[in-house]
Amino acid sequence: RGDAKLRIGVMLASLNDKLPHAQVRESILRSAQVCADLGHEVFEVGRLYDGPAVLAAFKTIWAYLARDVMLGARARFGAAADTLVEPWTRELAHWAESVALGDNDRMMHAIAEARSALEKFFASADVILSPVLDRPPLRIGELAPTAGFEHMMELMFEYVSYTPLHNMTGHPAMSLPLVPAPDGAPIGSMFSAAHGGEATLIGLAYQLEEALPWRDRWPYGAMPR
């Protein structure tokens, strides 16, 4: 159990420098207030790194993974792979072919700078609180892999414009369903810490679950066990 008082920075802007949906913003600010009520020092955090460059790097890495999937599928199934693999993955793999070699250098530089900036921040603070996603849960089908490629590229990389940071820098992070949307749908509050800071996050999670228990909270239409 972690009872230490932490310094928690609240970062609302996404990697593409946009603020989240109003419901998400309200959820995060209420989560921050709960942290303050528990005795933690809570403060606002501005941009620590080049967010759009980090998001572009993530997009490129994701596209490279899609390209690897297509190469493997074609090696096994031949030309039939073009109909067996979902359109989103297939078109993302094709997009990867347009990435210039110089973009790879910029990508690695952006990730390294973000990692360094976070480590510098965590030298004087303990945790960052931010959204998990930029809006409340999407309706089924809004991110269907059969949707148009341009639609998917725009919506996907806006929707997931917070978590990629930790995927690439390796910093531990956790999502807690502290403050739901008005309709009961869960909205995640993401807490991240320095490398090796998992114990700090788990201790904070214990405190927050006692303050805002979610075990018996079910959104409309869910099937409680």
What pLDDT, on a 0 to 100 scale, did the predictor assign at position 133? 97
**Would the pTM count as exceeding 0.85?**
yes
Let me know if residue 162 belongs to a domain.
yes
Let me know if residue 157 belongs to a domain.
yes
Dump the DSSP string for 125-175.
-SEEEEESSSSSPPPTTTT-TTS-HHHHHHHHHHHTSSTHHHHHH---EEE
Question: pLDDT tens, 212-225?
Answer: 998 888 776 676 66
The DSSP bridge pattern shows strands 41-44 and 7-10 to be parallel
CATH of the domain at 16: 3.90.1300.10
Q: Which of 208, 204, 195 is nearest to 122 (CA)?
A: 195
Let me know if residue 174 belongs to a domain.
yes
**Count of the separate structural domains present in the chain:** 1
Question: pLDDT tens, 111-158?
Answer: 999 999 999 999 999 999 999 999 999 988 888 888 889 998 999 999
Domain hosting residue 27, numbered range: 7-65+110-211
- Written as six digits, the tokens of 122 are 């965590």
What pLDDT, on a 0 to 100 scale, did the predictor assign at position 107? 92
What pLDDT, on a 0 to 100 scale, did the predictor assign at position 38? 97
Let me know if residue 42 belongs to a domain.
yes
Let me know if residue 76 belongs to a domain.
no
Dump the DSSP string for 4-45.
---EEEE----TTS-PPPHHHHHHHHHHHHHHHHTT-EEEE-
Let me know if residue 134 belongs to a domain.
yes
The residues pairing with 44 across neighbouring beta strands, listed in sequence order, are: 10
Q: Bigger pLDDT: 101 or 164?
A: 164
Let me know if residue 59 belongs to a domain.
yes
- Buried b / exposed e across 150-176, counting CB within 10 Å, b at 16+? eebbebbbbbbbbbbbbebbebbbbbb
Angle at CA 178, nearest 5°, toward 177 and 183? 75
Question: pLDDT tens, 120-129?
Answer: 999 999 999 9
- Written as six digits, the tokens of 26 are 């309200």
Question: pLDDT tens, 39-68?
Answer: 999 999 998 999 999 999 999 999 999 999
Cα distance between the two ends of the chain: 28
Let me know if residue 103 belongs to a domain.
no
Are 193 and 172 within 8 A, CB to CB? Answer: yes
Q: Which of 176, 207, 203 is nearest to 190 (CA)?
A: 176
Of the pLDDT bands very low, low, confident and very high (cuts 50, 70, 90), residue 101 is low
Question: pLDDT tens, 13-35?
Answer: 999 999 999 999 999 999 999 99
